[in-house]
Amino acid sequence: MIDLIPAIDLIGGKCVRLTRGDYSSKKEYGDPLDMAMQFEDHGVRRLHLVDLDGAKAGKVVNYRILEEIASKTRLVIDAGGGIKSDEDLRIIFDSGAAMATGGSIAVKEPEVFEQWIVAYGPEKIILGSDFSEGRIAVSGWTEATGEELMPFIGKWTGKGITRTICTDISKDGVLEGTSVNVYREILEQFPELYLVASGGVASLDDVELLVEAGVPAVIIGKAIYEGRIGLKELENFIQYKS
């Protein structure tokens, strides 16, 4: 019905959450491996791992943590943050990621990103379509671009992309509900797209709204860390509805 994908965002080797991408709003939640193992113990199969240090530095930084989680769990991990070169991508895959998410690279070096789609296949390369006020934002959300969301997605589906993680930055970390109408519009234009909604989930009621809209997958972050969605509650949802 819908894939539930918990998120682990990394700064300084710790699980953190930000609010609307603001690094000064950082709140720590402990050890990423411990959290990943808890997710797995409660029936989670997918994990979204974001190297926020890497996003800020412009290169992959926390790949050792990715390696540890990949080697000690069976989670299917998509990794993002700081993947700006062929070497970054190699490191991510060598460290155990099943998929890599690229956003900034798709804007700033589209020829390279297109080469990755051809070399690795669209099942392994995810488009990061993070937006603010309808326009794509990059570099750890610190940089706005002139790229509009719908044409951006359309351009890359035309080049073979079949998966995108789409985050409304204004919703991220504020626990006020998702941009379900935007996701519905995306799927109306691109019905075959594996769209991963991200940002704003405060409860499983928000997930139900995404199910009704036909969204294939959703990333859940702060709602889990703040106890709005308990791990047992997550497990029951996965067992009976996903």
Query: pLDDT tens for residues 186-199?
Result: 999 999 999 999 99
Tell me which of 132 and 173 has the higher pLDDT: 132
| Alpha-carbon span 124 to 135, nearest angstrom | 25
**Chain Cα centroid distance, residue 72:** 21
**CATH fit for domain 3-241, picks 3.40.50.1370, 3.20.20.70, 3.40.50.170, 2.170.190.11:** 3.20.20.70
Kindly indicate the confidence band of residue 242, based on its pLDDT and cuts at 50, 70 and 90: low
So what's the pLDDT on residue 18? 84
Q: Which residues contact 119 (CB under 8 A, 6 or more apart)?
A: none
So what's the pLDDT on residue 146? 76
- Annotation says 130 is catalytic: yes
Closest CA to 140 of 241, 21, 42, 32: 21
Q: Which of 51, 130, 168, 206 is catalytic?
A: 130
Domain ranges of the chain: 3-241
Q: Which of 9, 168, 172, 206 is catalytic?
A: 9
Kindly indicate the confidence band of residue 183, based on its pLDDT and cuts at 50, 70 and 90: very high
Please give the average per-residue pLDDT across 83-99, as a whole number.
97
- Annotation says 78 is catalytic: no
So what's the pLDDT on residue 139? 66
Please give the average per-residue pLDDT across 79-97, as a whole number.
96
Q: What is the pLDDT of residues 143-155, one digit of tens each?
A: 677 789 999 999 9
So what's the pLDDT on residue 55? 87
Q: What is the pLDDT of residues 51-69, one digit of tens each?
A: 999 988 889 999 999 999 9
At residue 121, the 3 state secondary structure works out as coil
